[in-house]
Amino acid sequence: MAVGEVDWEEFAAHLRAQGEEHVLDEYPEYAEYLRSKRAAEDPASDVPPPSEPAAEDPVERVVERVVERVVERVVEVLVIRCRFCQALTPVERETCKSCGAGEFT
């Protein structure tokens, strides 16, 4: 193996062990490797040579990426400190959220 070449068998085995086999779908080189390996194992098959793209090849999959936009909404809450337990409690509450004291201000 030359410098810079990927051992696809070892790479695929590592990803399978990690439960990340779906990552292989993002490497068109891996699909090319599988096609050339299949052609070498069964030369009589109707698999085209690696230089010709196969129509409807089940190994090559289109990876669709969905990008979700994350929107953060900042909510401000006015709090006061309970005079009994010193915990912070929203002012709209009637009792302290920590100790349950009424009229905690």
The pLDDT mean for the chain works out to 76
Dist. CA 35–CA 25, nearest whole Å: 14
The predicted pLDDT at position 38 comes to 81
Dist. CA 15–CA 69, nearest whole Å: 28
Dist. CA 72–CA 20, nearest whole Å: 30
Domain definitions of the chain by residue range: 1-65, 68-105
Q: Are 6 and 29 in contact (CB under 8 A)?
A: yes
Indicate the Cα dihedral angle 26, 28, 29, 35, nearest 10°: 120
The predicted pLDDT at position 33 comes to 82
What pLDDT band is residue 3 in, cutting at 50, 70 and 90?
low
Predicted model pTM? 0.35
The CA-based angle 70-74-75, given to 5 degrees, is: 140
What pLDDT band is residue 17 in, cutting at 50, 70 and 90?
confident
What pLDDT band is residue 92 in, cutting at 50, 70 and 90?
confident
Task: Find how far residue 88's CA is from the centre of its chain.
Answer: 38
How confident is the model over 63-84, as pLDDT tens digits? 666 666 666 667 788 899 998 9
The predicted pLDDT at position 85 comes to 92
